[in-house]
Amino acid sequence: MRVFGLGPVELIVILVIILVLFGPGRLSKTLGELGSGLKNFRDSLGGKDDAAGEKSDTPENK
C-alpha cells in the first residue's frame, strides 16, 4: 500500500526522523494540540457549540 507515493518503510523512516527532531514530549503535545484543533474545526462545521443556547464570551456577544 502506497500513501503519497511512499511505501511503509519510507513512512516509518520519516516518522522516526520526526520523533528524533521533536522528542517524545514535544511531539505528544503538538499532536494533542493538532487533535484539539481538528475536533474544534469539525464541531464548528457541524454547528456544535460547547454551551448550546448560551452566549459565549466572544467579542461579538459582549
Grid coordinates given for 56: 459565549
- What is the value of pTM for the model shown? 0.48
Cα-based distances in Å from 2 to 6, 7, 17: 5, 5, 19
The pLDDT value given to residue 62? 54
- Of all residues in the chain, the percent with pLDDT exceeding 90 is 34
- Confidence bin at 33 (pLDDT 50/70/90): very high
User: Which is more confidently placed, 53 or 48?
Assistant: 48
- Confidence bin at 1 (pLDDT 50/70/90): low
